C-alpha cells in the first residue's frame, strides 16, 4: 500500500544546514492512531543524509509497533519502506548528492562489520533491529515535536515529509525510476522475493508453500516463480487474496479454514510427502511450526519471513529437524542492501518483475490511519 507525498516538487537547496519544519505522522503511544504534527527535522550530521520522502508504503512491521508486538520507544515516527530525493548531506558524505533519487535502508550496509564482510551475511551490525534504540548511530535523534525528542524507527522513519538517515542506510537509484512504485523495493518486495531467490535459493522444478498472501507473501510467490518452481501452493485464511496470488504465479490456493485437519497434513497429502520449500510470511508462531512441518521431512527447507511476536516462544517436536529439515530466518530477503537495491531497481526498469499488483491503494499520506485500517482488515 503506497502513500503518495506530493511528487515532482524540486528540492529546495536553500534549506541545507537549517532545521526544516514539516509534517509527520507521530505515534505518541501504543494502540493509538497516528497524529499528523508539525515536526522539526535537524540538518544531517557527519555521514548523514536528509531526504525528502516522496512515497512510502505501509508494512505490517509498522503495525507491530502500534500493537506492541514489536517493542519500540515512544513517541516515534514509524515507516521504513520508501523512496525520496536527497535534500542535503552532512560532512564526509560521498555516495550521494542533493537531488539524487534514493531508497532508505532499514538494514544498512556499513561494509566493515563481520556480517557485511561475510559473503553469507546481510544483517549489518549497525542495524537498529533488536536494539530498540530508536536513535541515530551517535545516540541522538534528529526529530523534535512540541519541544519533545521523537524517536527514529529502524534508522529510516519515513512517515514524514523529511527524514535523516545514516549514509550506510540509503541506496542511490536510477534517476528515471518511478518513486511511487520502487518504494516497495525498500522492504516488502525485496523481503519476499529475496526470501525465495536469495535465502532459500529455490530450484527449478521444485514445490513451494507460501503461508500468508500480503504484499510480502505475494512477493515470495513471484520469487518462487522466477526461480522456476513447478508448484507454488498459496495458503491464506482470506480467500480474497487468491486471485492475485494466481495472477502472480501460484498454482494452488488453499484456505486452512476449509479443512478439519491441520494444514501441514493437507500439504503433505497434496504433494506426496511435503514441499521442498515453505515460507512463513505472517509472523505467528503456530504458522511457523506448521510451515516447518509441511516441508519434506528429509531435505525440506522452511524460511521464517514474518517478524516473530515479542516474548513468544515456539515449542515443537525436535524430530521435525532430526530427520533432516532445515529452518532458516530471512531479514530483507538476505540481500546486502546497498549493493542489491540499485540492482533490483534496475531489474524493475528492465521489466524483470512487476510491482503494480502489490499496490492496492494510493492515498494522500495524511490519510495514514485509513491506510492502517485497510491493512488490518486485509484489504
Enter the C-alpha cell of residue 377: 482488515
Enter the C-alpha cell of residue 134: 530508536
* CB count in 10 Å sphere of residue 244: 17
Burial class (CB in 10 A: 0-12, 13-18, 19+), 352: exposed
- Parallel, antiparallel or unpaired: strands 326-329 and 301-304: parallel
Torsion over CA: 298, 300, 303, 304 (sign):
negative
Contact of 69 with 26, CB cutoff 8 Å? no
Enter the C-alpha cell of residue 230: 513447478
Torsion over CA: 145, 159, 154, 49 (sign):
negative
CA-based end-to-end distance of the chain: 10
- List the beta strands (DSSP E) in 151-245: 162-166, 170-172, 207-211, 231-235
Q: Which of 232, 244, 333, 212 is nearest to 277 (CA)?
A: 232
- CA distance linking residue 110 with residue 356, whole number of Å: 31
DSSP 8-state code for residue 286: H
SS3 percent helix, strand, coil of the chain, rounded to 5, is 30, 25, 45
Which residue is listed with cell 541522538? 140
**What SS3 class is residue 115?**
helix
Q: Which of 273, 275, 271, 238 is nearest to 254 (CA)?
A: 238
- CA distance linking residue 151 with residue 355, whole number of Å: 31
Residues marked active site are found at 59, 61, 64, 80, 187
- CA distance linking residue 260 with residue 279, whole number of Å: 22
Amino acid at each position: 500500500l503506497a502513500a503518495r507525498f506530493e511528487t515532482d516538487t524540486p528540492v529546495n537547496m536553500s534549506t541545507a544546514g537549517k532545521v526544516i519544519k514539516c509534517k509527520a505522522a507521530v505515534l505518541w503511544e501504543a494502540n493509538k492512531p497516528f497524529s499528523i504534527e508539525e515536526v522539526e527535522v535537524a540538518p544531517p550530521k557527519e555521514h548523514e543524509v536528509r531526504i525528502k520522502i516522496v512515497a512510502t508504503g505501509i508494512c505490517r512491521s509498522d503495525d507491530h509497533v502500534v500493537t506492541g508486538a514489536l517493542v519500540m520507544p515512544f513517541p516515534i515516527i514509524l515507516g521504513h519502506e520508501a523512496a525520496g530525493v536527497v535534500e542535503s548531506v552532512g560532512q564526509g558524505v560521498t555516495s550521494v548528492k542533493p537531488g539524487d533519487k534514493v531508497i532508505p535502508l532499514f538494514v544498512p550496509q556499513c561494509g566493515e562489520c563481520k556480517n557485511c564482510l561475510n559473503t553469507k551475511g546481510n544483517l549489518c551490525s549497525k542495524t537498529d533491529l533488536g536494539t530498540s534504540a530508536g536513535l541515530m548511530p551517535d545516540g541522538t535523534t534528529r526529530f523534535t515535536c512540541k519541544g519533545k525528542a521523537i524517536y527514529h524507527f529502524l534508522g529510516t522513519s519515513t512517515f514524514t515529509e523529511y527524514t535523516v538517515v545514516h549514509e550506510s542506510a540509503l541506496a542511490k537509484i536510477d534517476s528515471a525510476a518511478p518513486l511511487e512504485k520502487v518504494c516497495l523495493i525498500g522492504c516488502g518486495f525485496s523481503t519476499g522475493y529475496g526470501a525465495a531467490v536469495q535465502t532459500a535459493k529455490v530450484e527449478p522444478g521444485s514445490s513451494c508453500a507460501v503461508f500468508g498472501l500480503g504484499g510480502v507473501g505475494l512477493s515470495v510467490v513471484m520469487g518462487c516463480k522466477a526461480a522456476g518452481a513447478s508448484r507454488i501452493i498459496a495458503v491464506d485464511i482470506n480467500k480474497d487474496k487468491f486471485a492475485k496470488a494466481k495472477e502472480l504465479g501460484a498454482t494452488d490456493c488453499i484456505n486452512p479454514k476449509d479443512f478439519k485437519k491441520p494444514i501441514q497434513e493437507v500439504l503433505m497429502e497434496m504433494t506426496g510427502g511435503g514441499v521442498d520449500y515453505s515460507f512463513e510470511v505472517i509472523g505467528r508462531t503456530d504458522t511457523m511450526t506448521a510451515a516447518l512441518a509441511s516441508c519434506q521431512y528429509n531435505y525440506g527447507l522452511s524460511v521464517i519471513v514474518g517478524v516473530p511476536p515479542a516474548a513468544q516462544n515456539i515449542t515443537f517436536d525436535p524430530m521435525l529437524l532430526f530427520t533432516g529439515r532445515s529452518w532458516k530466518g530471512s531479514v530483507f530477503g538476505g540481500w546486502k542492501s546497498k549493493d542489491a537495491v540499485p540492482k533490483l531497481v534496475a531489474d524493475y526498469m528492465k521489466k524483470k518483475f512487476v510491482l503494480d499488483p502489490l499496490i492496492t491503494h494510493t492515498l494522500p499520506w495524511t490519510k495514514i490511519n485509513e491506510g492502517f485500517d485497510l491493512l488490518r482488515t486485509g484489504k
